[in-house]
Amino acid sequence: MTHPVFAILSAGGSSLEDTIELLSGAASTVAGEETSATAVVFGAAPRVDSACRAACAMFSRVRRVAHPVLEHPDAEMIRELCRRLLPPAAIVLMAHDPFGMDLGPGLAVHLGAVYLPDCLELDREGTGRMSAVRQVFGGQVNARVSADVTSGAVITVRPGAFTRPEPPVDVSREVDGPSVASGEGAGEGGSAQAGEKTRGVVPTAGVIEDWSSKVFREGVPGVGRRILSIREAGKGEVDITRSDVLVACGRGFESADDLELARELAEVMGADIACSRPLVDARWMEKTRQVGSSGQTVSPRVYLALGISGSFQHLAGIKGKPFLAAVNINRRAPIFQVADVGIVGDVLEVVPELTECFREGKG
Ligand SMILES: Cc1cc2nc3c(=O)[nH]c(=O)nc-3n(C[C@H](O)[C@H](O)[C@H](O)COP(=O)(O)OP(=O)(O)OC[C@H]3O[C@@H](n4cnc5c(N)ncnc54)[C@H](O)[C@@H]3O)c2cc1C
């Protein structure tokens, strides 16, 4: 049996483009060749329309569910709407972010489906089974679990764990508006209709189907909570989950002032600065720069670990097999077991030399 695959998105959620990329990467892994994934975008107009167009860049089919009550991502409401629109035995994907963590468990109960939270890897195991890699015990162990998904599955995926599938849809062409396919009606929140002229960058492949009327035919779900407003958390200066080259600093640096050496190196390398957890605990760096199981998951091309021992909690945040270089004073440091290249030495001596080499190389 082929399971239909759905990715759930809230237009009012944060980091929407990253979430679309994350879920399209995860969807392409689980959908296989015989089926394509559908994105379902919940929200209020006009934001839901731009979110649908963004989703079209990576999903060939997008279901739009618009209503003013969906202005904020209310998991309780969306759980009931999902029940109305999802077919039996669906594989349902969402990000392991506050919205996904709120929505996922209850939705799995509603659908009678398996719940697989915070997945780093997903694999199909033939018909009716799926395996996933998840962190358990606060990130101390990576567990590969195998689940019977005959009745469907609700899966939350770790931000940064999946990247854009290849080949991407060409979104560079400007067209006159979204292609709205099924004409289920605008629904109460509708604004983007077939034939409407909405200028913007829209892919050619994605098809938007408006499911608003169909989903709200039974009325607005009665829910217990009322979201009054959403206050965004600070994002930090740099989003290291998108960085191509990272210079990561660990406790091998003895003072916050010494980190200036790493910043200089990062600058000549064109890299962003990241760190291990002790530097965040010491308040030398902001939390948004922390790589690891309780920090960010990154997938750069190059990762330079400076004075980092290589704990599994730190390594758990490095995905996509980057070229990993390490500098550590201890030749037996675990980081050298996973590094492609290593330098045994003091960061205070090696880092300025590396900076000089890069400067000369550039000159
Ligand atoms: C539930 C939980 C979640 C966690 N989540 C994370 C997480 O998300 N991210 C994370 O990073 N950690 C996390 N940790 C902490 C983790 O277990 C390690 O303690 C941490 O990663 C160690 O950071 P470090 O490598 O910088 O420091 P250390 O382990 O102290 O290593 C410092 C390294 O620097 C080397 N060194 C010392 N002096 C120099 C020098 N002058 N020049 C060169 N090298 C030198 C040492 O040989 C050593 O290898 C978590 C822990 C728990 C329990």
Please write the tens of the pLDDT for every residue from 277-332.
999 999 999 999 999 988 888 989 999 999 999 998 899 889 888 999 999 999 99
| Atom 48 of ligand 1: nearest residue by CA position | 309
CATH fold label, 5-215: Rossmann fold (3.40.50)
Q: Which residues line ligand 1 (CB under 6 A)?
A: 138-139, 250-252, 276-278, 290-295, 307-309, 311, 313-314, 317, 327-330, 333, 346-348
The sheet with strand 272-275 has its strands ordered as 272-275, 245-249, 302-306, 323-328, 341-344
CA of 318 to the centre of ligand 1 (A): 14
Distance CA 322, CA 59 (A): 27
77-124 pLDDT, tens digit per residue, is: 999 999 999 999 999 999 998 899 999 999 999 999 999 999 999 998
A 10 A CB-CB count for 266 gives 24
Cα–Cα distance between 20 and 354 in angstroms, integer? Answer: 37
Pocket test of ligand 1: the residue of 280, 286, 294, 351 to mutate, having most ligand atoms within 8 Å of its CB, is 294
Nearest CA to ligand 1 atom 29: 309
Ligand 1, atom 8: closest residue by C-alpha? 292
Distance 159 CA to ligand 1 centre (A): 22
The pair of three-digit structure tokens given for residue 206, joined into one six-digit string: 């994605």
C-alpha 305 to ligand 1 mean position (Å): 11
Atom of ligand 1 nearest to the CA of 346: 42
Q: Where are the domains of the chain?
A: 5-215, 240-362
Sorting pLDDT into bands at 50, 70 and 90, what band is 268?
A: very high
pTM score of the predicted model = 0.66
Q: Is the bond leading into 221 cis (omega within 30 degrees of zero)?
A: no
Q: Which atom of ligand 1 approaches the CA of 309 most closely?
A: 49
Say which residues have a Cβ less than 8 Å from residue 287's Cβ, sequence separation at least 6.
236, 280, 295
Identical fold for domains 5-215 and 240-362, yes or no, is yes
Which numbered atom of ligand 1 lies nearest the CA of 334?
Answer: 49
CA of 251 to the centre of ligand 1 (A): 6
Q: How far apart are CA 140 and CA 57, in angstroms?
A: 36
**CATH architecture for residues 240-362:** 3-Layer(aba) Sandwich (3.40)
Residue pointed to by tokens 């999802």 = 86
**Of 135, 284, 308, best ligand 1 pocket probe by most atoms within 8 Å of the beta carbon:** 308
Centre of ligand 1 to C-alpha 311, Å, is 6
- pLDDT tens digits, 12-57: 876 788 899 889 999 988 887 666 899 999 999 999 999 999 999 9
Residue 120 parent element (H or E): strand 114-124
Q: Report the range of poorest mean pLDDT among 164-178, 215-229, 239-253, 344-358.
A: 164-178
